Structure 1
Amino acid sequence: MAGETVITVVGNLTADPELRYTQNGLPVANFTIASTPRNFDRAANEWKDGEALFLRASVWREFAEHVAGSLTKGMRVIAQGRLRQRSYQDREGNQRTAIELEVDEIGPSLRYATAQVTRAASTGGGFQGGGQGGGQARPAQQVSEEPWSTPGSSTSADAWSTPGSFGDDTPF
């Protein structure tokens, strides 16, 4: 959407994502990403940590179940999403404002780790989108195909798997 504030945050999860379900059965996962800048202090000849940013984040629907089943406390992640501001009244009656990240994409950072991706079974119905809109959640299922293959395809039909099988031209 035009005018939305989209940001990318790299940091570590402070706890396992907390998966909950709304009264309508819609899954939502909430978690916090801690992002700490590091700068080299030439005078002291050492790296120094800056002030940490703790950003609350949320994901919805099947995405929430995927995040809760894949990411754990301490993992370094890269998250992209839209900043949302909401106002509320605390228990003492004070007006508060919270800024949260509504995550569109998230994954583990591979700078200091490795990961193996397993494609979840498609639930159909087209785009599921983020946010709190409609749609019915379905449990995620794992498939035993190659991580990047199209369901039902075989790797032998993959243009990149067999050199020379499609000539010198790219297959698209």
Structure 2
Amino acid sequence: MAGETVITVIGNLTRDPELRSTSRGNVVNFTVASSTRTFDRNTNQWQDGDTLFMNCSAWDTARTSLASNIAGSLSKGMRVIVQGRLTQRSYQAQDGTQRTVVELRVDEVGPALSRATAQVTRQTSQGGFAGRNDGNGFGGNGGFNGGGYNGGQNAGQSSGFGGYSGGASTGFGAAPAQSAPASAPQTGADPWGSSAPAGGSFGSFGGSGDFGGNGDEPEF
């Protein structure tokens, strides 16, 4: 969305992610501590500088289970890479005072692999276009269901739009048999001397008779 501040924070989780269920769905909250590192020439050692404590939140949506995945994958002390949008919200504290906090609305998060290893388990997609079984659209049991072309297997039994499995079952009927071509004109005969056959003049070019088909074949 235009105008939003997108940042990436790399740091360690200060606590286990807390997953809560609300009226809007599942939400997870966690905090990332990101410290700067400076090199001290006097001691020839790296030292920790100021630490940024970034409060983060993520939600489950109709397309993703981001909040649930974070709660089931990450724990206190893990080093993570978090990308999201800075947001500001106000709330009333228990003492009645009005407070404002800045937090990171997480879009993507993953473990940092500079000093660790991770095993990724891919989840089965919950979405996809489930095709109708009445022969409309892509026909058959699928359309794009499961990520593949399942449509068209049963399409020839109804509407005839069969996707990749159309072929002979498209429902338009078999092509009419082609008649043998007329014999070649005799040597020396003028090929334009004879009159044009009925229905085959240039004025009516494009009809069903111009391509050897019958009158029942639909025109384009």
Establish whether TM, by shorter chain, passes 0.5: yes
CA shift at 1:40, angstroms? Answer: 0.5
What is aligned with 2:10? 10
How do residues 147-166 of structure 1 correspond to structure 2 at under 5 angstroms?
none
Q: Secondary structure at the match of 1:116?
A: coil
TM-score under structure 2 length normalisation? 0.55
CA offsets 1:11-30 (integer angstroms, 9 cap, x no match)? 00111111110035x11111
RCO greater where, 1 or 2, for CA within 8 Å and sep 6 or more?
A: 1
Counterparts of 1:151 and 1:37 in 2: how far apart (Å)? 44
| Change in 2 beyond 3 A, CA 1:68/1:151 | farther
What is aligned with 2:106? 103
> Does residue 93 in structure 1 map to residue 96 in structure 2?
yes
CA RMSD of aligned residues (A): 1.8
How do residues 17-56 of structure 1 correspond to structure 2 at under 5 angstroms?
17-23=17-23, 26-56=25-55
Count of aligned pairs between the two proteins:
128
Greater strand share, structure number: 1
Identity among equivalent positions (%) equals 62
Structure 1: 5+ residue runs without aligned partners?
A: 127-149, 153-172
Amino acid at match of 1:53: L
CA offsets 1:91-123 (integer angstroms, 9 cap, x no match)? 223221100000000000000001110001111
CA shift at 1:46, angstroms? Answer: 1.6
Structure 2: 5+ residue runs without aligned partners?
A: 130-145, 149-220
The runs of 4+ residues in structure 1 deviating greater than 3 Å are none
CA shift at 1:151, angstroms? Answer: 7.0
Greater helix share, structure number: 2
| Change in 2 beyond 3 A, CA 1:21/1:125 | farther
Q: Secondary structure at the match of 1:110?
A: coil
Amino acid at match of 2:100: T
> Does structure 1 conserve the Cα–Cα contact (< 8 Å) formed by 2:33 and 2:52?
yes
